Structure 1
Amino acid sequence: MSEVFRFGKAAVRPQQAPVPVMIAGQAIIATRCISVLLLVNELGYDGIADFIHRSAQAWDSTLIFVASQMLFFIELRCALTLMRGSRRGRLLYALSQAVVLLYLWAASIGWIYPEIFSISGASNGEIFHRLILHKSPDLLVLLLLFLPASSRQFFQRR
């Protein structure tokens, strides 16, 4: 209270993000970090070294590997910024998910040759079904960011 009398203005706290936005941001961070931990646990040190070695043997594989790492850090950055109310963070996360979905679909069908990241299936319908199942957590996060009225109002204020 003495700060109000000393400086003539009250300390204003920035408004907290609504619950759906906080859950979405934490879910992005948690799913990305847990997926890395599960991958490390599954492959082990030798498997990771072999994966990096195989990815570095051709330019196209190296480019896709580096792009996937960049996308990982972009998604983490989006999660942190959207919890602070950044519209750009929300839109960049939606754009990154669209790029990932298109790449996985094209690589799984066989349109993009270095199929480092692809989903196997007998037919295009089965591939699409597995792809939607694989991306369902990210689709739910996008719903939390775009559908609730509190989320839309939070991003419109800033």
Structure 2
Amino acid sequence: MTQLARSAHPKQSGTVDGGYSQEFLTFTLGGEEYAIDILKVQEIRGYDAVTGIAHSPPFIKGVINLRGIIVPIVDLRIKFGVGVVDYTPFTVTIILNVGGRVVGIVVDAVSDVLSLDPAQLCEPPEFASSLDTRYIQSLGSIDDRMLIVVDIEKLMLSADMALVENPLH
């Protein structure tokens, strides 16, 4: 288990157009690189077996006991329909604290922590109605890398996830 180190005073604007840089944890799913707000991350762990829950959606892998807290584990590869679901030594679980709830997400690998300025973030393009983009906060560009910035709190607290009683709409 590895505890995620954070600076004492992270620079963050909280919005795409706030003027300050914002720190993101980047990770891979399939062949794409994603990013989430570093302030939502509690820790990063290697992937361990989970206890399955009957009649749960396929993307809910089950639960783990994390120091006395029962944590639901969501496989984002299944939820987003990207890549082959193959658990390797690089597969990790990112433990998040969203909306006062602790949840875990399974990803292919964690890349790094990046600071992005508002100029490096742009709104996602409009797509046909068949593509669900409501959880894409923005697209980030750094050097030759394109990052899909996910609004992880909106995703985890949505009715689709069925993780909370009063989901965000």
Same fold (TM over 0.5): no
Q: What TM-score do the two structures reach when normalised by structure 2?
A: 0.24
Larger Rg: 1
Q: What TM-score do the two structures reach when normalised by structure 1?
A: 0.25
